[in-house]
A and B are shown apart, each in its own frame.
Chain A
Amino acid sequence: EAGVAQSPRYKIIEKRQSVAFWCNPISGHATLYWYQQILGQGPKLLIQFQNNGVVDDSQLPKDRFSAERLKGVDSTLKIQPAKLEDSAVYLCASSLARHEAFFGQGTRLTVV
């Protein structure tokens, strides 16, 4: 079974630029998560989708971050414009309902 796929693995951008991350979850997983993990901290949930609907985006900085999940499968997370404090690893995960979540390898973003 293929795991959660994320791209790119690494991205370096200048502040005020925009960036997008892509995630393809495990086939059949209705729930998809985007987490932000700042160095030395635990993952922080940014947004959670159930199929193609948003069920939790309370911790998403909506003035600069946006996310969508097309047809209940792939998802993209965008930052526009980026700030220095957005430097982090962005993790995508998927799960079946209340089961464990499976994670992709993450995208390491550096904002300079």
Chain B
Amino acid sequence: AQKITQTQPGMFVQEKEAVTLDCTYDTSDPSYGLFWYKQPSSGEMIFLIYQGSYDQQNATEGRYSLNFQKARKSANLVISASQLGDSAMYFCAMRDATYGNNRLAFGKGNQVVVIP
């Protein structure tokens, strides 16, 4: 069964420091994609970064990077040089074909608060 786990409690991070958000997943499909989304208090879901299961290198997108450890089924998001605008909920999501339909399922999220 498809499953995404995010268990960290709310995190406070100092402005300009890096923060790592944990995500583990479980799937029986060898072909899958992992996504991270940001949801600020305004409510919109903003796509940040994508990692494919066959990608050899860790994905990076500006200040966002994904620490992909396939054997551990882990896809942690690293935000470098945190900014006040990074305060938000962050959701890990996975798309696979377990149900034959490329369902995109989300974890419960990590709360990040950046403090000046």
Give Cα A80–Cα B109 distance, bound, in whole angstroms.
30
**Which residues of B from 34 to 74 have beta carbons under 8 Å from A?**
35, 37, 43-47, 50
Interface size on B, residues (CB 8 A): 23
One of B12-20, B77-85, B99-107 contacting the partner: B99-107
Q: Is the CB of B99 within 8 A of A58?
A: yes
What are 10 A-to-B residue pairs whose CB atoms are below 8 Å? A33-B104, A43-B45, A48-B101, A55-B100, A56-B99, A56-B103, A91-B45, A95-B104, A98-B33, A101-B104
- A65 in contact (CB, < 8 A): no
- A20 in contact (CB, < 8 A): no
Q: Chain A residues with Cβ under 8 A from B47's Cβ? A: 100-102
Q: Chain B residues with Cβ under 8 A from A106's Cβ? A: 43-44
**Which residues of B from 75 to 116 have beta carbons under 8 Å from A?**
91, 95, 99-109
Most chain A CB within a 10 A radius of its CB, from B91, B106, B108? B106
- Tally the A-B contacts, defined by beta carbons under 8 Å: 55
Q: State the main secondary structure of chain A at its contact with B.
A: strand
Q: A101-B47, A103-B44, A105-B43 are in contact. Are A45 and B104 (CB under 8 A)?
A: yes
Q: Is the CB of A105 within 8 A of B44?
A: yes
Q: Is the CB of A43 within 8 A of B33?
A: no
* A contacts, CB < 8 Å to B: 31, 33, 35, 41-45, 48, 50, 55-56, 58, 89, 91, 93, 95, 97-103, 105-106, 108
| Closest A residue by C-beta to B95 | A98
CB distance from B82 to the nearest CB of A (A): 22
Q: Is the CB of B103 within 8 A of A42?
A: no
Q: Is the CB of B108 within 8 A of A55?
A: no
Most chain A CB within a 10 A radius of its CB, from B35, B99, B102? B102
CB distance from B80 to the nearest CB of A (A): 21
Q: Is the CB of B50 within 8 A of A100?
A: yes
CB distance from B96 to the nearest CB of A (A): 9
Give Cα A50–Cα B99 distance, bound, in whole angstroms.
14
Q: Chain A residues with Cβ under 8 A from B33's Cβ? A: 98
Q: Is the CB of A56 within 8 A of B101?
A: yes
